[in-house]
Amino acid sequence: MSNRSNKDRLQQLQKVQLNRMSVQCNSSSLVSFGELRKLGNKPSKDVYIIDVREPTELQETGVIPSSINIPLGELESALKDLNDGQFRDKFGRDKPGKQDLIIFSCLKGGRSTKAQEISQKLGYQKVSNFVGGWTEWAEKIKNKCP
């Protein structure tokens, strides 16, 4: 992605409102490290941070706080085919509703972008992407960025 198109996409980013965790963003928004860090530190039943990497990758690198792991290859069937109970049993959380905020992450942003597209096609309306992924997260945590 060129710097210009990345800059244009970043300008589309809406601010995440953390008052009582009422988060508003449009379906094409991006989430910054700072916003994701605040959300991860204050889990909410209406906000889902979904890491679409493979479980072995998470074991090797680590996880973003409050995230759940749904590998990209399982995402569509998890969101489309699993009922609420099956989803909870498999992933440890209630299944997201179509109006809940879902933020996808991966290693560097490629798979999370695909996950964003899949979920939008399934009718999820508040879908965001942390395009920096684990790579950005780990670097900023290491450097103690706010």
Active site residues: 106
With tokens 């710097």, the residue in question is 3
**pLDDT, one tens digit for every residue, the chain (146 residues):** 555 554 454 444 333 332 223 333 444 589 999 999 888 777 788 899 999 999 999 999 999 999 999 999 999 999 999 999 999 999 999 999 999 999 999 999 999 999 999 999 999 999 999 999 999 999 998 887 76
From the list 46, 41, 24, the residue with the least C-alpha distance to 93 is 46
Q: In what order do the strands lie in the sheet with 101-105?
A: 29-30, 126-129, 101-105, 47-51, 67-69
From the list 99, 100, 104, the residue with the least C-alpha distance to 75 is 104
Question: What structural domains and CATH numbers belong to the chain?
Answer: 3-142 (3.40.250.10)
